[in-house]
Amino acid sequence: MGSPARHTMWRLIKLAAPFWRRIILAALLGFATIGSSVGLMTTAAYIIAKAALRPSIADLQVAVVGVRFFGISRGLFRYLERNISHDINFRLLARLRVWFYRALEPLAPARLMQYRSGDLLSRIVADVDTLENLYVRVLAPPLVAALVGGLMWVFMGSLAPSLAITLLIALALAGLGLPLFARQLGRRTGEEMVQVRAELNVAMVDTVQGMADLLAFGQGTRYQEHITALGRQLARLQARMARIAGLHGALGGLLMNLGVLAALVVAIPLIRSAELDGVILAVLILGVMSSFEAVLPLPAALQYLDNSLEAGRRLFEVVDTEPVVPDPPTPASLPAPPHGSLDVRELTFRYAPNEPPALNKVSFTLPPGGRIAIVGPSGAGKSTLVHLLLRFWDYKDGNVTLGDTEIREYCQDDVRSLISVVSQHTHLFSCTVRENLLLARPEASMEEIVTATQQAQIHDFIHSLPQGYDTWIGDKGLRLSAGERQRLAVARAILKNAPLLILDEPTANLDTITEREVMRELLGVMEKRSTLVITHRLVGLTTMDEILVLRGGRIIERGRHHDLIQLGECYRLMWEQQNQTLN
């Protein structure tokens, strides 16, 4: 195992460390199970061989009791071992999922843009599920095999040292040599299986998400062929892995028989020389055969080890990614309400060092209760500004202060708790209308929910649904129209009731009449909080305290609506073009 693989394995073991007591208990129960199996087979062999000599029944009483004890204890220990080991397994999976999500959350959205959604889904579902084999099939079998090997060494050594050495060699070949051989055959196959399964998951997710577009452009057949090819490739790898498993199963049986033969070769001369009782011969044979139960799972354990290491590597690849926006070591406390003004000074930001600035020396001040609109064409940098205020990306040049404190000195969650956002692409979850609204404020009452939806002009529509607020809206809210989804997003932002309201294209996807009604309602909401309106649709801007016209990341005009119209430059041109379109 190379250094990176050892490092990955060590980190995976550390994740399981909180359950070390249960792991040791399960390993001891596994040892007790196989020990009982060995005891059952050897005592049964002794009874059969001894009974052929017609001894007194008193000579067999202890062995008869032993058969009963080992027969019952084997089933009991097996049940307890399975119960505890699978309990560990499920606890470990739960820990891994929470651990991965906690590592994933700070990376959103900046770092996660380099991953496809299907790839992330594959890592958080398939790769985590692959690690369920880590304890039951990878860590436990070697521990049990070592304990059983020690037991058989003591047992055989008490009869004859040569028997102990013979059995130890046979167990070593089956428990070490065969697994290493099987691993060499299956290592690449196991790694390829993880990769191909991930590619298949990515393709499936992309296809399901883009099904309508694929059908519209006649590309459904091509993508189906791509998925079919990946499925066949995965099936070939699984078949190859099954053949390898069959091979090491056959070799394991062969080594067990060779071990029995070797034990016979060593034991028969000892019996002839009267160093051993002839009855012991049957005990030795069945004892050797039953002890192989401990080492035969080891080749499969190494195959599962390779799969687990590859899955772990893929998970750690994401987890080890440094967040774009770190929290400060000692976060500052948020200012008391009304939380002070938002000051942006000479803010400059690039998504990559070699790219042109998305924002270039942008400055403005939003006082408590103030209203500022930022307008401009697509690509002007409006949404970038929102992302910086929400701490999704970090800036290096310029300053953004909230209440006289740089927002980089606050905890990210604290900053976001002060902001309600209506974005261009609001995500709605596959649950009810009520549950989607409660994401903004889980403790909100029904009366507060209704007030928010009335202000967003969507209450009557929700009331008309079959189950009202308990109506399921489908994945991404696809059972709603684009305008209905947007109004639901507005209602969610209103319900949060944060002191700073950011409206990023709040009326996108709304018709003209509804757009004016929603903006009229939003004006009432704005009276109670500071508002930043990001839009390219110049509707309802006459009440703004200041309008900033953004182009190419720079502020090229600023002022109130009337002043910018009188100026007769970019803003007026945009306003005239939109009014001509509406007329």
- Give me the pLDDT at residue 249, please: 82
**Which of 256, 288, 319 corresponds to the end of one domain?**
319
Judge whether 255 lies within some domain. Answer: yes
Same domain, 299 and 426: no
Instruction: Indicate the number of domains in the chain.
Output: 2
**Residue bearing tokens 């959103």:** 108
For residue 136, pLDDT over 90 is answered with no
For residue 583, pLDDT over 60 is answered with no
- The CATH number of whichever domain residue 111 belongs to comes to 1.20.1560.10
Structure tokens at 64: 């008869």
Query: Where does the pLDDT of residue 206 fall: very low under 50, low under 70, confident under 90, or very high at 90 and above?
Result: confident
Average pLDDT over residues 5-33: 87
For residue 581, pLDDT over 80 is answered with no
Structure tokens at 351: 């998504």
- pLDDT > 90 in the chain, percent: 16
The mean predicted confidence, pLDDT, of the chain is: 85
Same domain, 285 and 414: no
Same domain, 25 and 151: yes
Distance separating alpha carbons of residues 24 and 26, to the nearest angstrom: 5
Same domain, 346 and 227: no
At residue 320, φ and ψ (nearest 5 deg) are -80, -5
Give the burial class of 269: count Cβ atoms within 10 A of its Cβ; 0-12 exposed, 13-18 middle, 19 or more buried: exposed
- Give me the pLDDT at residue 1, please: 58
Judge whether 7 lies within some domain. Answer: no
Helices (H), 2-132: 3-16, 20-51, 61-104, 117-121, 128-130
Q: Which tops the pLDDT comparison, 43 or 482?
A: 43
Judge whether 400 lies within some domain. Answer: yes
Average pLDDT over residues 300-320: 82
Same domain, 313 and 366: no
Same domain, 134 and 197: yes
Query: Where does the pLDDT of residue 83 fall: very low under 50, low under 70, confident under 90, or very high at 90 and above?
Result: very high
Tally: H helices and E strands in the chain: 22, 10
Q: Which tops the pLDDT comparison, 315 or 2?
A: 315
Give the burial class of 337: count Cβ atoms within 10 A of its Cβ; 0-12 exposed, 13-18 middle, 19 or more buried: exposed
Distance separating alpha carbons of residues 583 and 12, to the nearest angstrom: 65
Same domain, 234 and 365: no
- pLDDT > 70 in the chain, percent: 96
Distance separating alpha carbons of residues 234 and 228, to the nearest angstrom: 10
pTM here is 0.73
Same domain, 315 and 348: no
Same domain, 487 and 576: yes
Structure tokens at 494: 């209103």
Judge whether 558 lies within some domain. Answer: yes
Distance separating alpha carbons of residues 416 and 390, to the nearest angstrom: 6
Judge whether 1 lies within some domain. Answer: no
* Structural domain range at position 440: 342-582
Query: Where does the pLDDT of residue 208 fall: very low under 50, low under 70, confident under 90, or very high at 90 and above?
Result: confident
Same domain, 478 and 563: yes
Same domain, 218 and 250: yes
Average pLDDT over residues 543-547: 89
Q: Let me know: does 131 contact 308? Beta carbons within 8 Å.
A: yes
- Give me the pLDDT at residue 372, please: 92
- Give me the pLDDT at residue 508, please: 66
Q: Which tops the pLDDT comparison, 294 or 245?
A: 294
- The CATH number of whichever domain residue 397 belongs to comes to 3.40.50.300
Q: Which amino acid is at 195?
A: Q
- Give me the pLDDT at residue 308, please: 83
Average pLDDT over residues 545-569: 89
At residue 331, φ and ψ (nearest 5 deg) are -65, 145
Judge whether 331 lies within some domain. Answer: no
The two beta strands, 554-559 and 546-551, are antiparallel
- Give me the pLDDT at residue 36, please: 92
Same domain, 273 and 373: no
**Which of 319, 353, 376 corresponds to the end of one domain?**
319
For residue 582, pLDDT over 60 is answered with no
- Give me the pLDDT at residue 32, please: 93
For residue 156, pLDDT over 70 is answered with yes
Judge whether 450 lies within some domain. Answer: yes
For residue 292, pLDDT over 70 is answered with yes
Structure tokens at 554: 């720079």
For residue 425, pLDDT over 80 is answered with no
Distance separating alpha carbons of residues 273 and 277, to the nearest angstrom: 10
Average pLDDT over residues 69-82: 92
CA angle 494, 495, 497 (to 5 degrees): 75
Judge whether 334 lies within some domain. Answer: no
The two beta strands, 530-535 and 371-375, are parallel
Q: Which helix (H) or strand (E) holds 286?
A: helix 280-291
For residue 162, pLDDT over 70 is answered with yes
Q: Let me know: does 573 contact 546? Beta carbons within 8 Å.
A: no
Distance separating alpha carbons of residues 296 and 282, to the nearest angstrom: 22
- Give me the pLDDT at residue 382, please: 85
Buried b (16+ CB within 10 A) or exposed e, 477-509: beebeebbbbbbbbbbbbbbbbbbbbbbbbbbb
Write out pLDDT tens, residues 512-535: 776 777 677 677 667 778 889 888
Query: Where does the pLDDT of residue 435 fall: very low under 50, low under 70, confident under 90, or very high at 90 and above?
Result: very high
